[in-house]
Chain A
Amino acid sequence: MVYLTRKAEFSASHYYHNPDFTPEENLRTFGKCNNPNGHGHNYTLEVTVKGEVDPRSGFVVDLKQLKEVMHREVLDAMDHRFLNKEVPEFLHQIPTTENIAIAIWQRLATKLTQAALHRVRVYETADLFVDFYGEGS
């Protein structure tokens, strides 16, 4: 089994708000992230897939295909977007780094045909990142 990781970057804005909370509760829970006008980050995405090395190609996965899927399913939808308003998953779910990692996993898992998804890592900043290993982990 070999693990392969591909990185990508996207920039997006978001804010944290739960409509079931009072304004005070929202502010206490989410602090500065509760500003309804949003704020932004340069996110770094790391997608790790795993599989056996194909003896003919020497690849775990065709990197070109992985790159295309990441672009189509994730970057086209999230890069230079206001996540709360433009990405369907976040119309009714808070776009925290945790939920972004889960949403990216769900977007990719069924689309990767050659190798199995192992981990989705999303860096919100260089000092904060989330790893998601799938629903069953």
Chain B
Amino acid sequence: MKAHLSRRYRISASHRLHSDAMSTEENRSTYGKCNNPHGHGHNYTIQITVSGQVDVKTGMVCNLSDLDSFIEREVLARYDYENLNTLQEFADEVPTTENLCVQIYEIVHRGFSHAHLEKVRLEETMMNSFEYTGPAKAVS
């Protein structure tokens, strides 16, 4: 039987929203306070949802320790306590939470083979959250 398993992780990171394609004025009006050249930070919550058949031998969709160690190694170690703008993937892309959400989805989708990735939800604050389910698939 198929079930969905969701696990929540936390990272703290800083960023600045600024696009080289925009003028100084346009950056200010588009990004507001987030355009502060010195950057600012958030406590992000990452929620990973995977799905699969529940293994009759273990009662699990996938072993939580496999998911935890993968996320620790590939996601948390990469983003926690970092300035997102200094990372390679954001050299030419604005580190909005939308873009970070897609990046994390791609990392998990590419590298985690123990279950099917359904969704990445990224909460920037308690008020703002973003979800990505891969190309052209509606959120349920």
Q: Which residues does A use to contact B, with CB under 8 Å?
A: 16, 18, 20-21, 29-31, 93-99, 101-102, 126-133, 135, 137
Contacts and interface: CB of A to CB of B under 8 A. Distances in A.
B59 A131 contact: no
Interface of B: 1-9, 49, 54, 57-61, 63-65
Contact of B2 (A21, A95, A99, A137): A137
14 contacts: A16-B59, A29-B63, A31-B65, A95-B59, A99-B54, A99-B59, A102-B1, A102-B54, A126-B8, A128-B8, A130-B4, A130-B6, A131-B6, A132-B3
A130 B3 CA distance: 7
A127 B54 CA distance: 20
Contacts of B49: 131
A137 B8 CA distance: 24
Given A29-B63, A128-B64, A98 B57 contact: no
A96 B60 contact: yes
